[in-house]
């Protein structure tokens, strides 16, 4: 089981930022399910992981359904507290990994300077090249700020659903993150 350490600003996972360690920000709406799950699942990557939401009640603990879904696929995010996305988060991120098109649209609308480093997790799984170039260079090569966001890119929000809905979301994200991990190296 992978544990995610948190410190009041959503989850911070991975090594401390030193020199060339890139920062990946996972983004959803409430920073209560999808971004938390993805953050925990990407913990093995050699990057610093932050999680945040676009419309958050700051400092809320993770719900039992998210915790249970994460545990069922072998992960944890003990101590997580919800965190509202900030200008500092955006400025410090090398990649903003959105859980749905609405989050990409939010960044484009409110933080257009970050559009070129923001994409859905599904688009990144499909399009992010591997290789020896830095993560920043590989993200830049995608031309993300100019791409249309499409309906297939969404990971459905489990909020309000039963345990099975959260588990389905966790399984989908586990598959996506497994495919993405090698590309973050």
Report pTM. 0.90
pLDDT, tens digit, for every residue of 14-69?
Answer: 444 445 799 999 999 999 999 999 999 999 999 999 999 999 999 999 999 999 99
**Percentage of the chain lying above the pLDDT 90 cut:** 89
Instruction: Please state, rounded to an integer, the average pLDDT across all residues of the chain.
Output: 91
Question: CA-to-CA distance for 135 and 28, rounded, in angstroms?
Answer: 21
Torsion of CA 69, 125, 40, 151, to 10 degrees: -50
Q: Is the pLDDT of residue 144 over 50?
A: yes
Q: What is the CA radius of gyration of the chain?
A: 15
185 or 137: which carries more pLDDT confidence?
Answer: 137
Q: Give the pLDDT score at 135.
A: 96
Q: Give the pLDDT score at 18.
A: 47
Q: Give the pLDDT score at 16.
A: 44
Helix, strand, coil percentages, rounded to 5, for the chain: 45, 15, 40
Pairing verdict, β 12-13 and 48-53: antiparallel
Q: Which domains does the chain have, with CATH numbers?
A: 12-180 (3.40.50.2300)
User: Which range (2-16, 85-99, 149-163, 171-185) has the least confidence?
Assistant: 2-16
């Amino acid at each position: 089981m992978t544990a995610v350490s948190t410190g009041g600003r959503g989850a911070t996972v991975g090594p401390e930022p030193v020199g060339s360690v890139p920062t990946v920000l996972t983004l959803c709406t409430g920073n209560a399910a999808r971004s938390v799950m993805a953050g925990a699942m990407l913990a093995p990557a050699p990057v610093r992981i932050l999680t945040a939401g676009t419309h958050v009640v700051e400092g809320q603990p993770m719900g039992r359904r998210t915790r249970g879904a994460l545990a069922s696929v072998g992960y944890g995010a003990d101590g997580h507290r919800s965190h509202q996305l900030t200008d500092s988060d955006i400025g410090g991120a090398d990649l903003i990994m959105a859980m749905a098109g609405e989050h990409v649209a939010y960044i484009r609308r409110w933080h257009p300077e970050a559009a070129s480093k923001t994409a859905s997790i599904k688009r990144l799984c499909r399009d992010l090249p591997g290789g020896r170039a830095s993560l920043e260079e590989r993200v830049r090569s995608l031309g993300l700020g100019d791409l249309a966001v499409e309906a297939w890119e969404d990971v459905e929000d489990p909020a309000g659903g039963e345990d099975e809905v959260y588990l389905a979301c966790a399984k989908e994200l586990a598959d996506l993150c497994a495919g993405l991990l090698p590309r973050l190296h």
